[in-house]
A and B are shown apart, each in its own frame.
Chain A
């Protein structure tokens, strides 16, 4: 699969051949840091000063490089396709090889970062439970009501590391029903229908 680069993108990347190879490597590193931690304007300013070019050129160059890397990683482009795609930029062979190396070294990392991006539903993290028996209340003594109290820890949907928790309370018969429903759900994975689908995905 070939990447199609927009005109604007090509213009941004045209900055790259004007600097020497070591700088391109440095830009690659900055682009990856950008992916991991977000942009840092100070780094752009420092680079722009050293190369005597305007800050926007540096910023566009790095962003263009980063976009190239993410698009390639997203589509899992093979080496040959990657080289063909950057051929249209008209860079030197050496520069093309550098870009290819950058891509090959980092594409699995980039894919794992990208896979964390879309927000997901809250997911199960941990469960604490407690079994008690209510013996009396203000209006009624001599009771015997067993209850299970649970606190479910869920990961937050925006991927932050802190957890939501929900408090749930149930009586034993509902609990048994809950358990049997969940076991039925687990057993559904082993039916022929589910197995056929899984086999075809693999």
Chain B
């Protein structure tokens, strides 16, 4: 992994070794569920660690160290064998390491996808809705007879992250320019895929 292992990880690996390797695999499954955004069931975790008489501090530490191992491994796209040898060098027993690496392999792709989704993006566009109106007349001119487009853009605010809505009305000519430019950008994006 070419990374220095933080001291707290080294310390907590020995805590992990206290539970049986079967329970370890189930604990890994819970931690992976949490990392994938499905939430963690602390009651189940409590039951898994009850035999080894973990206190609440130990439980939190084990969850934290497994989270760190999985997310760092996925972040740097480490393969299963390197992870396994690294963990054994740090002192995790062989059966625990095997269980952990198997869980990692199973969920490796899903984890990377999730990490990709949660990467920093500013002002993510959520949805676009549009409407075409035909202006018949106005207070300035009796016969206008022109189409106009209303665009509603819903996005996440860049600074706040809260949903924001922008409404724009665009005349037909301007809209043609907008469309042409966006199509050029799309060609560029497709060429990079």
Q: A residues within 8 Å of B by Cβ?
A: 128-130, 135-136, 138, 141, 149-151, 165-167
Interface majority SS on B: helix, strand, loop or mixed?
Answer: loop
Produce 1/0 per residue, B119-161, CB < 8 A to A: 1111000000000000000000000000000000000001111
Determine the distance from Cα of A141 to Cα of B192 in the docked complex, in whole angstroms: 14
B7, CB-defined interface residue at 8 Å: no
Does B120 lie within 8 Å of A151, measured CB to CB?
yes
Chain B proximity of A147: nearest CB distance (Å): 12
On whether the beta carbons of A149 and B188 are closer than 8 Å, the reply is: no
Number of A-B residue pairs at CB separation under 8 A: 25
User: A149 to B119, alpha carbons, bound, how many Å?
Assistant: 11
Can you name 25 A-B residue pairings with CB atoms under 8 Å? A128-B119, A128-B120, A129-B120, A130-B119, A130-B120, A130-B121, A135-B188, A135-B192, A136-B185, A136-B188, A138-B181, A138-B185, A141-B188, A149-B120, A149-B122, A150-B120, A151-B120, A151-B122, A165-B159, A165-B160, A165-B161, A166-B159, A167-B122, A167-B158, A167-B159
**What residues of A have a CB within 8 angstroms of the CB of B120 in the complex?**
128-130, 149-151
Chain B residues closer than 8 Å to A138, beta-carbon distance:
181, 185
Chain A residue nearest in CB terms to B192: A135
- In the assembly, what is the distance between CA of A128 and CA of B119, in Å? 8
- In Å, the complex CA distance between A149 and B122 comes to 9
Which of chain A's residues have a CB closer than 8 A to the CB of B160?
165
Q: How far is the CA of A55 from the CA of B35 in the complex (A)?
A: 53
Query: Which residues of B51-108 are within 8 A (CB) of A?
Result: none
Write out the residue numbers on chain A whose beta carbons fall within 8 Å of the beta carbon of B192. 135
Nearest A residue to B182 by beta-carbon distance? A138
Residues of B near A167 (CB, < 8 A) are: 122, 158-159
Q: How far is the CA of A138 from the CA of B120 in the complex (A)?
A: 24
B186–chain A nearest beta-carbon distance, Å: 12
Bound Cα distance A129, B121 (Å): 9
